[in-house]
Amino acid sequence: MRILVITQGEYGKRMVHNLREHAPQGWTVGEWQAPAALPMVMDYPEDYLPAELPPTDLILSLGENPGVAELIPEIARRTGARAVIAPIDRPEWLPKGLARQLAKWLQDIGVNAVFPKPLCSLTETHYNVRRHRVEYHDELVSEFARHFGRPRFVIMVDPSSKKIVTAQAERDAVCGCARYVAQGLVGVSADDAEFQAGMLHHHYPCLAAMGIEDDFADTVMHVSGNIYKDEIKEQVKPYVTVQYFTPHGRVDGVSSSSS
């Protein structure tokens, strides 16, 4: 698969590095760095594009300016791309209304588009979380999401010590955070694994937004962290110590009463 990543800063460059380091054999990952400053409305988007762009199957747009959305349809035309992933890790970079408009522009030229919020919610069949989950059908996006998207872990726990002995990211996040979390979980007790996964995610340089989103009544960064915690929780569930609390006034299941 031929991927073209549109970047503008460190957010995108970190992802390009991770994709190039860990992409399956046969993938090519190209990068085009868009201008740092772009107007919201462009009469002639082609004026902001280079003379040549490589033939592409899938565009991954990691722009940090809403103006990048104006460029994507023309980039798709020039490169022959058939699908676009335009994540919404920071809503100010791709506001809702602009995302809807971009989807329509791309649909008009026969290009499928997905808008995962956050990017690490993307799977082979859907993206987003809670009631905002969106189903999609696109072979190129699904192929990308088989390798990069919603983190998926393979964890082995020592039954006697209940400590994690091996942890691997079966599917990494695009930014590389899942590999980082997996490495940090080795040696951690199953009882503490969910909490530690959240802390490791928090310490990784994630650039998801920290403002409260109406969609989630939470921040995009916390939604991302909860994806990790939920995945780890399921993996270690058989080894977690279940604590029982006896209500005050009950002994061995029998209520005490005063005479």
Domain boundaries, the chain: 2-147, 152-239
For the chain, give the mean pLDDT: 91
Average the pLDDT over 132-154 and give the result: 97
pLDDT at 259: 38
- Do residues 158 and 103 make contact, with C-beta atoms less than 8 angstroms apart? no
Confidence category of residue 255, pLDDT binned at 50, 70, 90: very low
- Sole residue written with tokens 């009544």: 217
What CATH code is assigned to 2-147? 3.40.50.720
Residue-wise pLDDT tens digits, 47-101: 899 999 999 999 999 999 999 999 999 999 999 999 999 999 999 999 999 999 9
Q: How far apart are CA 93 and CA 99, in angstroms?
A: 10
Residue of higher predicted confidence among 199 and 248: 199
- Do residues 95 and 67 make contact, with C-beta atoms less than 8 angstroms apart? no
pLDDT at 243: 63
Confidence category of residue 248, pLDDT binned at 50, 70, 90: low
Q: How far apart are CA 128 and CA 144, in angstroms?
A: 16
Confidence category of residue 206, pLDDT binned at 50, 70, 90: confident
Which helix (DSSP H) or strand (DSSP E) does residue 197 occupy? Answer: helix 190-203
Average the pLDDT over 119-141 and give the result: 96
How big is the chain by its Cα radius of gyration, in Å? 22
Q: Is the predicted pLDDT of residue 258 greater than 50, yes or no?
A: no
Whether 152-239 and 2-147 are alike in CATH topology: the answer is no
Average the pLDDT over 14-32 and give the result: 96
pLDDT at 250: 58
Residue of higher predicted confidence among 257 and 192: 192
Average the pLDDT over 218-227 and give the result: 91
Which helix (DSSP H) or strand (DSSP E) does residue 145 occupy? Answer: helix 139-147
CATH number of this structure's domain 152-239, picked from the four choices 1.10.10, 3.40.50, 3.30.390, 2.40.10: 3.30.390
